[in-house]
Amino acid sequence: MTSAHVPAWEQERRAIVVNAIGVGLATAAYGISFGAFAVSGGLSVLQAQILSVVMFTGGSQFALVGVIAAGGAMSSAVATASLLGLRNAFYGLSMSPVLSVTGARRAVAAQLTIDESTAMAVGRSGPGETLRAERLAFWATGLSVFVLWNLATLAGSLGAGLIGDPRTYGLDAAIGAGLLALVWPRLVDRRSVGVAVVSAVVALALTPVLQPGVPVLLTSVVAVVAGVSAVRDRASRGLT
């Protein structure tokens, strides 16, 4: 029930901000793992921090560091990270009409367009929700995650020397866990599950014979084939 002394929008605004801070805090734990793993994998504290400020997409950052730490070529590391980061471009297409920003604010919005900010905004797009609620959810979450992720990266990278071998605390599993967290919500039907399973089999089969990072890139072929197959199936049934 809405309080007589607190307008409905004020209550909603507070709830959005509290949720955004909660998402940022949860992501910060992940950021500590990244900072520690990045430095342990051969990056300097400054390099780890630049990745978090400029790249600012957890899955891609872990992929980049993971390939480098495993001895893979820089080209493979960059290509793998870029492939994972493509999803943010699609997020941007869906968020652009909602945010309706130009100039410097558009550049900032592009930097803050990540899984969490997009999900929070989309979560406010149902019946009865207002456009300003969607926008606030996006900006509050994006800024919260950006600030706390970077602080956590710094803490993790500075503390890497004190932590020692990340494998002792299971931090080496953070890369796989992070990528699984990105994929899992998208396994919503038999086709997507099939693509994931086949991709995993291909990656496992190629890992012993190819450089780190290359097997992940080659699994994109599975997704392309599945996508083309889906389009043809729809066309054959007369769907658009």
Q: Alpha helices of the chain — where are they, by DSSP H?
A: 8-40, 45-50, 58-69, 74-99, 103-112, 115-122, 131-158, 160-163, 174-183, 190-206, 214-218, 220-236
Taking the domains of the chain in order of start, what are their residue ranges?
8-186, 188-240
Which of the four pLDDT bands, split at 50, 70 and 90, describes residue 236?
Answer: confident
Which of the four pLDDT bands, split at 50, 70 and 90, describes residue 2?
Answer: very low
What pLDDT is attached to residue 224? 75
- What's the whole-model pTM score? 0.73
What pLDDT is attached to residue 187? 77
What pLDDT is attached to residue 114? 92
User: Locate tokens 């950006």: which residue?
Assistant: 146
Amino acid at 57: T
Mean pLDDT of the 45-73 span: 87
Mean pLDDT of the 20-48 span: 88
> pLDDT tens digits for 150-186?
999 999 999 876 766 666 666 656 556 656 665 676 6
pLDDT at 54 over 90: yes
